[in-house]
Amino acid sequence: MPSHYKETYASWKSAPFDFWRKAAAEIDWSVEGTEVFDAGSGPYGHWFPGWQTNTCYNCLDRHVERGRRGQPALIYDSPITGSKRAYSYEELLDKVQAFSAILQDHDVSKGDRVIIYMPMIPEAVMAMLACARIGAIHSVVFGGFAANELATRIDDATPKIIIAASCGIEPGRVIPYKPLIDKAIDVSKHKPSAVLVVQREQAPADLQNDRDFDLGAALDIAVSEGREVAPVPMEATDPLYILYTSGTTGQPKGVVRDTGGHMVALKWSMENLYGIEPGEVFWGASDVGWVVGHSYIAYGPLLHGCTSILFEGKPVGTPDAGVFWRVISEHQVAALFTAPTAFRAIRKEDPQGKLMADYEMHQFRALFLAGERADPDTVNWAAETLKIPVIDHWWQTETGWCIVGNPMGLGLLPVKPGSPTVPMPGYDVQIVDDSGAPLPENTLGNIVIKLPLPPGSLPTLWNAEDRFHEAYLADFPGFYKTSDAGILDEDGYLSIMSRTDDIINVAGHRLSTGAMEEVLAGHPDVAECAVIGIADKLKGQLPCGFAVLKSGVNRPPEEIEKELVQRVRQEIGPVAAFKIAITVERLPKTRSGKILRATMRQIADSQEVKLPPTIDDPAILDEIAEALASHGILSRS
Ligand code: COA
Ligand code: AMP
């Protein structure tokens, strides 16, 4: 099919508000406003002011009313527990209404915040939709974060209640969630009034505290009573959810997603970017705790009338590297969206793709990758093995959907290896130098997006408008700063080269090295420290911490290194994958005292070391190299 990308992008550029008004016709509104965009409110404006709608209604009710009653809405496939279960649109609506009724029983209403701390079980998606139905603002916290991180989010979002499961399950271990929640509530200043817990047989929780409730039992009763709750009309500009993401400090940023623009953008993307028809099966192999899970496990596929897969497992080891092919074949998946690291893991276990031979996957049309750099090696391997288009696309928690991609629905453009292709309508992507001056084609610089951001992107940060301004808008007036650096070529193709801040990407998970440094610095024996992201063949990057000990500390360094690893695991969580801590005598610095993290990274990655002219003492670089070698890091590459 010839690509309609150019005309589509041009039509957006020449009349952006008409473009989004037309896209908005795909959503059911209870009130349609006159304006599409209000430039005068919020830090840069708001989409669909005066329009009213309900996200849960658009995800469920309207499909039940219009012929999708019996179609599976959600298929839960959990190789880690050996269970599977499909929910039709009608059944999911019944469950979500019952869930909404329980939230109301706990006095949760429009505008209240609800934290959801759950593994990949159907109740997690139901909880999100139930909140949306009654206008409560959910904030899902990824299960791999520790109690401290949960506490930070509790204090920032001040939720009325927490919805949780009794445990998460990782290969080889069950993680009881309730003790983590109790600890988080103990240390947080804000105290939620109730914790609703889905009891899982692998580790039921002790519900002794009088704020704890058995959610599964309550749901069974509410469903059997057929409790119904009408969707609450919401302003398009009302928040649907808050999703915390790593910032440059230990304090995560509460990305706000609004109600109306979010639906308009996701619905547009399902058809035009992913090329999916209503009724088809879409699989976002991520986690509901990440933005991909919000947009393309929960909301996008349901808004579009698709069947969404909720997969509780890993690409390898549950039970093997053929599990993705099993799920694709068994549930007739048309498109899969995951992080490149998942494919690196599969390739490592099954380089010839032999396990694929057991499965029939004729309906599988495309693989979409995002969340981290898609290395051409992995992309080529996937394309050759699967013999379907493998499409890299670039986006961020902040934008909620793709900034730069190759739109399958509009007709694919030629692929340039290493580039996620071209900007989607809504995004005017430019490359500028540090002063904001535009740079010529093929020149590396800051990637910025001309304001306003399109529907679906964050209007602000939760309770932190100043921080929003400072983090995203202040450096390049009139533009949104992505904090990614890259190059636009003569055909308008973008390549993402690196972050311009301290964020690293570990197995598709976004982490702040600054936050890890805060944890290391809190160790009583540490005088100063630095954490860098070093290249890793499987996870893309791995955090590596260096610590200088206080004078007078004479405990064995290995003992302190172990404590540092344990400390990050305990304070940030296992997801940080922080396993390398190295004690050193000194850190390399500039003469003004700035730690040379980039130079340390070049050494760790065995790259050419560009000696900064302002370096204070170059001999320290040799000490760093020796320390890395003695910990087996330099010998890896
Ligand atoms: N709850 C508790 N712990 C969790 C967790 C969760 N939800 N998710 C991950 N962890 C733990 C892991 O068990 C691991 O613990 P360990 O140090 O005891 O082994 C640690 O956090 C690091 O996890 P991860 O980086 O995911 O490594 P892994 O070795 O378990 O798995 C991959 C590697 C590549 C298989 C896995 O990262 C993967 O499937 N990635 C897909 C990426 C993805 O979904 N990205 C989301 C954005 S699209
Ligand atoms: P997150 O907010 O967790 O989705 O992480 C967003 C960051 O991940 C981006 O700012 C990029 O640094 C990186 N990223 C996401 N997708 C891609 C991609 N396709 N190519 C390169 N980097 C990516």
Q: Is 144 in the pocket of ligand 1 (CB under 6 A)?
A: yes
- Mean pLDDT over each residue of the chain, to the nearest integer: 96
Output phi, psi for 540, to 5 deg: 85, -65
Contact 264, 304 (CB under 8 A): no
Strand partners, 435: none
Q: Is 341 in the pocket of ligand 1 (CB under 6 A)?
A: yes
Q: What is the mean pLDDT of residues 281-306?
A: 98
**Residues in the ligand 2 pocket, defined by CB under 6 Å:** 245, 291, 370-374, 392-397, 420, 484, 496, 499, 505, 510
- From-to residues of CATH 3.30.300.30 in the chain: 507-630
Between the alpha carbon of residue 496 and those of residues 208, 477, 486, the distances in Å are: 50, 22, 4
* pLDDT tens figures, 176-220: 999 999 999 999 999 999 999 999 999 999 998 899 999 999 999
Residue nearest to atom 13 of ligand 2 (CA): 372
Q: For residue 537, how many other CB atoms are within 10 A of its CB?
A: 12
Q: Calculate the CA dihedral of residues 474, 475, 476, 481 and round it to 10 degrees.
A: -90
Q: Is 342 in the pocket of ligand 1 (CB under 6 A)?
A: yes
pLDDT computed for residue 372 by the predictor:
94
Q: How confident is the model at residue 1 (pLDDT cuts 50, 70, 90)?
A: confident
How many residues are listed for the chain in this entry? 637
The span from the CA of 187 to the CA of 343, in Å, is 39
How buried is residue 171: exposed, middle or buried, by Cβ count under 10 Å (0-12/13-18/19+)? exposed
* pLDDT tens figures, 109-135: 999 999 999 999 999 999 999 999 999
CATH 3.40.50.12780 corresponds to the domain 5-313+393-486: yes
Q: Is 458 in the pocket of ligand 1 (CB under 6 A)?
A: no
Q: What is the three-class DSSP state of 280? A: coil
pLDDT computed for residue 504 by the predictor:
95
Q: Any idea which residue has 């399109």 for tokens?
A: 454
Residue nearest to atom 15 of ligand 1 (CA): 574
Continuous segment of H or E residues that includes residue 376: helix 376-386
Closest listed residue to residue 486, CA positions, set 448, 543, 542: 448
Q: Is 510 in the pocket of ligand 1 (CB under 6 A)?
A: no
- From-to residues of CATH 3.40.50.12780 in the chain: 5-313+393-486
pLDDT computed for residue 414 by the predictor:
96
The span from the CA of 498 to the CA of 594, in Å, is 20
Q: How confident is the model at residue 251 (pLDDT cuts 50, 70, 90)?
A: confident
User: Which of left, alpha, beta for 574 (phi over 0: left; psi -120 to 50: alpha)?
Assistant: alpha
Q: What is the mean pLDDT of residues 312-329?
A: 98
In the structure, how many helices (H) and strands (E) does the chain have? 20, 31
Closest listed residue to residue 524, CA positions, set 563, 558, 568: 563
The span from the CA of 89 to the CA of 60, in Å, is 6
Output phi, psi for 422, to 5 deg: -125, 160
How buried is residue 359: exposed, middle or buried, by Cβ count under 10 Å (0-12/13-18/19+)? middle
Alpha helices in 294-357 (DSSP H): 300-303, 323-330, 340-349
* pLDDT tens figures, 469-486: 999 999 999 999 999 999
Contact 49, 35 (CB under 8 A): yes
Indicate if the pLDDT at residue 246 is higher than 90: no
Helix, strand, coil tally for the chain in percent (to 5): 35, 25, 40
Residue 371 Cα, ligand 2 centroid: separation in angstroms?
Answer: 4
Those residues whose C-beta lies under 8 Å from the C-beta of residue 222, and which sit 6 or more positions away, are: 98, 99, 101, 102
Residue 7 Cα, ligand 1 centroid: separation in angstroms?
Answer: 41
Residue 321 Cα, ligand 1 centroid: separation in angstroms?
Answer: 15
Residue 575 Cα, ligand 1 centroid: separation in angstroms?
Answer: 6
The span from the CA of 426 to the CA of 575, in Å, is 33
Q: What is the mean pLDDT of residues 558-575?
A: 97
Contact 590, 612 (CB under 8 A): yes
Half-sphere exposure of 312 (CA within 13 A, CB side): 25
* pLDDT tens figures, 27-82: 999 999 999 999 999 999 999 999 999 999 999 999 999 999 999 999 999 999 99
**Residue of 173, 314, 570 best suited for mutating to test ligand 1, as the one with most atoms within 8 Å of CB:** 314
pLDDT computed for residue 591 by the predictor:
92
Indicate if the pLDDT at residue 514 is higher than 60: yes
Those residues whose C-beta lies under 8 Å from the C-beta of residue 170, and which sit 6 or more positions away, are: 80, 574
Indicate if the pLDDT at residue 417 is higher than 90: no
Q: Where are the beta strands (DSSP E) in 374-436?
A: 390-392, 404-405, 422-423, 429-432
The span from the CA of 8 to the CA of 409, in Å, is 11
Between the alpha carbon of residue 291 and those of residues 241, 249, 298, 397, the distances in Å are: 11, 20, 10, 5
Indicate if the pLDDT at residue 259 is higher than 80: yes
Contact 338, 378 (CB under 8 A): no
Contact 392, 420 (CB under 8 A): yes
Indicate if the pLDDT at residue 636 is higher than 80: no
Residue nearest to atom 4 of ligand 2 (CA): 396
Q: How confident is the model at residue 635 (pLDDT cuts 50, 70, 90)?
A: low
Continuous segment of H or E residues that includes residue 78: strand 72-78
CATH 3.20.20.70 corresponds to the domain 507-630: no
Atom of ligand 1 nearest to the CA of 291: 47
The span from the CA of 35 to the CA of 134, in Å, is 26
pLDDT computed for residue 208 by the predictor:
83
The span from the CA of 279 to the CA of 302, in Å, is 10
Contact 5, 410 (CB under 8 A): yes
Residue 170 Cα, ligand 1 centroid: separation in angstroms?
Answer: 8
Q: What is the three-class DSSP state of 496? A: strand
